[in-house]
Homo-oligomer: A and B are copies of this chain.
Amino acid sequence: MMNMTMQMMEMHMKDMPMQGKDMMLMQECIEACSACEQACTMCADSMMGEGMAMGRSMCATMADMAGTMMRAMLRPNLMHMESMMAMHTATMTMANFCAEECMKHAGMSEDARMCAEACRQCAMACQKMMDAMTGMMPTS
C-alpha cells in the first residue's frame, strides 16, 4: 500500500523543484517518519513507572512531530524551503534526543530498543533531506 503513496508522489514530480534522486530521499523520509510515529506511539503506551516518565513524554511528542513532518512532505503545494528546513531541523533534533532517552531503557524494554532505532532512522532521513535541500537553495 505504501507503493500507492509513491505512485501519487511521482505524478507530482514534474511540478516540483526536485529531481528523481531527491524524490527518493523524500519518499524514504516519509516512510521513516511514518515508522517513527508508529514506534513512538507504541513505546509511549508501553512505558510504565516513574523512571520512564520523561521517555514516555518524549515518545508521545515525537509521535506528533513525526506525523506533522510526514504530512508536510506529502503536500505537493508546500514548496517552501525555509519552512521545511525548520521542521526537518526540529524533527531531527528531537528524534536524536528521543533515541538517546529510549536507549536508557533498552535493557528492560524491547519496545524502547526498537523505538530508539526508528528514531535514529528518522533523524538520519531528515539529515539527508536537509543536505539535499541545502544544495537546492540559492546561495546568497
Interface residues of A (CB under 8 A from B): 1-2, 4-5, 7-9, 11-12, 30-32, 34-35, 37-39, 41-46, 48-50, 53-54, 56-58, 60-61, 63-65, 67-68, 70-72, 74-80, 82-83, 86-87, 89-90, 93-94, 97-98, 101, 110-111, 114-115, 117-118, 121
Name the CB-closest residue of B to A97.
Answer: B83
A11 CA / B67 CA spacing, docked (Å):
24
Partner of A57, one of B32, B45, B67: B45
Number of copies: 4
Say what secondary structure dominates the interface of chain A.
Answer: helix
A42 touches B78 (CB 8 A): no
Nearest neighbor of A64 in chain B, beta-carbon distance: B68
Assuming A8-B111, A83-B61, A111-B11, is B90 touching A45 (CB within 8 A)? no
CA A89 to CA B89, docked complex, whole Å:
9
Q: Which residues of B contact A49 (CB under 8 A)?
A: 48-49
Residues of B within 8 A of A37 (CB): 71
Residues of B within 8 A of A90 (CB): 86-87, 89-90
Q: Which of B2, B39, B44 contacts A8 (CB 8 A)?
A: B39
